Structure 1
Amino acid sequence: MTLRDYPTDPIKTLINSGATSNFISPSLVEQLKIPKTLLENPQVVRMLDGTISQTGCIWHQVQLVVLANGHSHIIPFLVCPIGNTPAILGMTWLTTESPLIDWQQGLVTFPEQVQIASKEEADPDPLVDLPPQYHEFAKVFGEEEFKVLPPHREYDISIDLVPDAKLSPGPIYSMMDAESKALKQHIDEELATGKI
């Protein structure tokens, strides 16, 4: 990993999905004179077999700005003796950054940052981009036509319900809050326009 604020060669870093946090060697922190902050709650390190590390509690952390693929990432590291490895990126980093790892080439890349498009303003003159031969049909796509049911015609069909019929129970689908709100809004709009 390459550090933005410290002139040094890239630091050899272990990516470890078995590590719950990110760790950095105290010797590297001292060598680069990285300022440490005291943890409010000291952390205990448990080894893979469940035993507590002989190093005792972790009392300090550092915040580093790491450069990767043209992006900067602020990453917190717990200061802890970790053997010969200068730094370990654990699950806190993996879940935050969701990197793409090419195991064959040994490359770590990051998906392009995507921004959700904001709601667009309605075009004041929708006919500008419409070919002239379709201008006569433009009202069909307008909001006012959409809110009105078409007139009844001879080929309409009716659905005859059986009186006192028992409906078979259907499955219950769970929805996220946003989906529930969108469904409620849609039903309210359909009721208001008389479509249902």
Structure 2
Amino acid sequence: MRRRELIAGGAALAGLPLAARAQNATDTTEAAAGMLDGTGQPMMAPHIVQLVEPFPPGEVHVFPGPFRLYWTLEDAYAWVYPIRIGRDNLYEAGEYYVGAKKEWPSWTPTPDMIEREPEKYKQYEDGMPGGPNNPLGARALYLFTEERGDTFLRIHGTNDPNTIGRAVSNGCAGLINEHMINLYDKVPMGARVVLYPKA
């Protein structure tokens, strides 16, 4: 898909999350009950919605405006999850595929991250092992393109629910760990991922 087509498609679909009709979830998690997102509002649990316009099943669609991630199903249904996204110009709209999946992944800040905030990231330049305090959380999907290979963008977990519903990361999309585990088990290697442009 050419960039012009992607942006046009993103603009046309930007209202889709608001137009989705919620259905009774068949397999929602209980992890979000009583938790708050970054706006102080109760955080929604993952649930199934019926989309006004169908998407091909088996794809991830990230809409930055309403901070929502959709995992598409057959017959115009989708799972929807609350997310956080990259701040400022670190959010990178585009089309990707899942090139790797890791449970409790290790993490190394990118050179750009170290250059931007050495006081925060320099100490981790040799990496951090996976675990509850790791910034990538419990699970991570690694986003690749044919041209670049690993883009260093991730969809990953976090143990900080206060960041959900906010643009705070270094470019990655984040879900609380319990939601990320739920999503990780659904998304296979090679799945298409679309990050739509910010409004």
Q: Which TM-score applies when normalising by structure 1?
A: 0.23
Question: 1 or 2, which has the higher strand percentage?
Answer: 2
Larger Rg: 1
Greater RCO (CA < 8 Å, at least 6 residues apart): 2
TM-score, reference length from structure 2: 0.22
